[in-house]
Amino acid sequence: MKWGLPWWRSRPPKPTGELKVYVLDVGPIEGDSILIVSPTGKSVLIDAGDAGKGKVVLDALKRYKVERLDYFIATHPHPDHIGAADEVMNGIKVGAVIDNGVDLSTPAPETPANKKGKGSKAAPPPPKKKVKTATTFFDEYAAALKQSGAQYEKAQPGKNYDLGGGAILTVLAPSEPFFNKDQMKAGGNDTNANSIVLRLDYGEFTMLFMGDAETQTEQRLLGKKDVDLNAKVIKVAHHGSKYATSEEFVKRVHPEAAIISDGAWNRYGHPAQAVLDRLKGANVKLWRTDLQGEITITTKGKGDANGAHIYEIKAAKETKDDVGMGREAQKDDSSRSGFIAYGDFGPPPKPKTEKPKKK
């Protein structure tokens, strides 16, 4: 039985109109934010970009006439994915929030009551100023979620969401047991490896959303023979990191087009040349938010009279740069090397050619 879609292959629902996927441009810092609008107007936001990008996301929602988000899906708790989730949840009504269940909330501060026995001669400390920590972004996300009144769900692999008009979104990962640091010794990051991975089906159109999945995530998916991974379009894992999008995975997915959501200011060498080469080698057409801005995929779920043109992809801007040219890494994007994913973004160093050389 195909996961979540037992009836799908035998009795696919007829597509009823246009479905749109907008891979938003939340650069030049790095991040992901992807909006799906179904043929019946149901909407899903996958991630919200880093802190400060709420306006970009909310503007896009306005532009595409989304007045209420049916689902907000937080693929994994890293700031480049949920940093602006609070800004979005404060700005628009959200029906349900789905995440992978990993809780990074800062524990409640010690009070005299729970501090008992730890030496009580000191006077109660003055109320602490809020200090930003490496996980403050999660506290802000959790607080906004609570305040929003949205329903909360932990992602369950195999569960699918009916988006209306024949469009179905299925959760493929993470599955238990979650990856831990020890399993990331070959490279990669456990938080990323436990990303929510999704599959969108609409008629003959299929798209995979990989979050920041790592090779280990792909291996686990490849091992599940009942999971259909074949897709026309893939939102490439982890901004094109060299620790994902393995050759084996590309072969199994067999995509026609790959969308890379990455920021020009990232220091991890996203997208990696090796990944771009693998995709190019498999004849996959490349699209990149850092060079082409927002990428829009439109599909009616079926082709024209000849069965061609099942979907169309358009970029907000043209680029003269080569989308097949990777970026050079200044840092390794793996927890092995102390990768923490926080605040490692900034404008690139000024080109050395700016000052005329003395001779």
Question: What is the binding site for Zn ion (CB under 5 A)?
Answer: 80, 212
Mode of pairing for the β-strands spanning 93-99 and 205-209: unpaired
**Please, which residue, 31 or 203, has the CB nearer to Zn ion?**
31
User: Of the candidates 353, 323, 31, 4, which has an alpha carbon nearest to the alpha carbon of residue 169?
Assistant: 4
The minimum distance between CB 266 and Zn ion, in angstroms, equals 9
The minimum distance between CB 1 and Zn ion, in angstroms, equals 32
Distance separating alpha carbons of residues 320 and 294, to the nearest angstrom:
16
Distance separating alpha carbons of residues 156 and 172, to the nearest angstrom:
8
**Please, which residue, 64 or 178, has the CB nearer to Zn ion?**
178
Distance separating alpha carbons of residues 281 and 279, to the nearest angstrom:
5
The minimum distance between CB 86 and Zn ion, in angstroms, equals 17
**Please, which residue, 212 or 228, has the CB nearer to Zn ion?**
212
Secondary structure E strands in 125-253: 151-154, 160-164, 167-173, 197-202, 205-209, 233-235
**Please, which residue, 80 or 201, has the CB nearer to Zn ion?**
80
> Residue 32 in contact with residue 76, Cβ under 8 Å?
no
* SS3 label, residue 87: helix
Give the neighbor-by-neighbor strand order of the sheet with 205-209. 160-164, 167-173, 197-202, 205-209, 233-235, 257-260, 285-288
The minimum distance between CB 227 and Zn ion, in angstroms, equals 23
The minimum distance between CB 75 and Zn ion, in angstroms, equals 8
**Please, which residue, 24 or 310, has the CB nearer to Zn ion?**
24
